[in-house]
Homo-oligomer: A and B are copies of this chain.
Amino acid sequence: MSHRIVRRIRRADADVVRTLGAQGVATIHEAQGRTGLMRPYMRPIYPAARIAASAVTVSCQPGDNLMIHAAIEVCQPGDALVVAPTSESTDGMFGELLATSCRAHGILGLIIEAGVRDSADLTAMDFPVWAKAISAQGTVKASAGSVNVDVVCAGAFVRPGDVIIGDQDGVVVVRREAAAEVARLGAARIEKEEKSRRRLHAGELGVDFYGLRAKLAELGVEYVDEETEM
């Protein structure tokens, strides 16, 4: 139960991470059986934010960014910081200076179940962040925590090296060891959806297309031509 910083973690294959990033959060979430999604209060700080990266996890005291500084040292290009404070807070634990440091080390972005500040600067830098609040409230650098340990962030369990995908729909976590398989399932899903899209675009109805008429009948849903007064 002591605090520790783990220097080396295993990461998913870079091509797989890239593929998952192109598939997007909704597709991946479906592809892996609707697991790994963070709670919907995790929002990107600007609309165009997108990320696909390997997670370097940070467990820390809320309102204290000491461990975020410590985490940057063990990151590699292509990583994202996943910061999980030990209790609820909206303090702005990360800002433009930390983003500058991240960028200097190839860190792609930040997922934090707390607040961030300098949000206009982060947007101008195109440094993608998913957070639960925007707040100028600053932090101390005083409390112990851990880097690259298992964390729960916004309701999702994240292991160091897991793949993190974020876009406008939120953030999803893919287990490192399942990443290639999920990417394959995601590709299959995209292909299938492309066919659905063409048929729906042509005007075919979902109730026919997905064979739902029988389901509706079985559930006892009746069709009536016009509502009559009760």
A residues near B (Cβ < 8 Å) are 1-9, 24-26, 29-30, 32-35, 37, 39-40, 43, 46-47, 61-63, 66-67, 69-70, 72-73, 86-92, 95-98, 100-101, 103-105, 115, 117-120, 123, 133-138, 140-146, 148-150, 152, 155-157, 160, 167-170, 172, 177-178, 193, 196-197, 200-203, 205-207, 210, 212, 215-216, 219-227, 230
Report how many copies the assembly holds.
6
6 A-B pairs besides A29-B136, A88-B89 with CB distance below 8 A are A1-B33, A9-B227, A37-B87, A40-B88, A101-B205, A152-B152
CA distance A1 to B197 in the complex (A): 27
CA distance A97 to B189 in the complex (A): 13
CA distance A57 to B220 in the complex (A): 19
Instruction: List the B residue with the shortest CB-CB distance to A142.
Output: B142
Instruction: List the B residue with the shortest CB-CB distance to A226.
Output: B8
Q: Which chain B positions have C-beta within 8 A of A230? A: 177
Residue of A32, A98, A104 ringed by the most chain B CB atoms within 10 A: A104
Pick the residue among B5, B133, B223 that contacts A222 (CB under 8 A). Answer: B5
Cβ B141 vs Cβ A92 within 8 A: no
Instruction: List the B residue with the shortest CB-CB distance to A41.
Output: B133
How far does the Cβ of A10 sit from chain B's closest Cβ, in whole Å?
9
CA distance A86 to B90 in the complex (A): 11
Q: Which chain B positions have C-beta within 8 A of A97? A: 193, 196-197, 200
Cβ B5 vs Cβ A206 within 8 A: no
Q: Which chain B positions have C-beta within 8 A of A193? A: 97
Q: Could you list some 24 contacts between A and B, CB below 8 A?
A: A1-B35, A3-B222, A6-B226, A7-B223, A7-B225, A8-B225, A9-B226, A26-B118, A30-B138, A70-B207, A73-B205, A97-B193, A100-B200, A101-B201, A119-B169, A120-B168, A120-B169, A134-B170, A141-B210, A145-B221, A149-B227, A152-B152, A155-B155, A177-B230
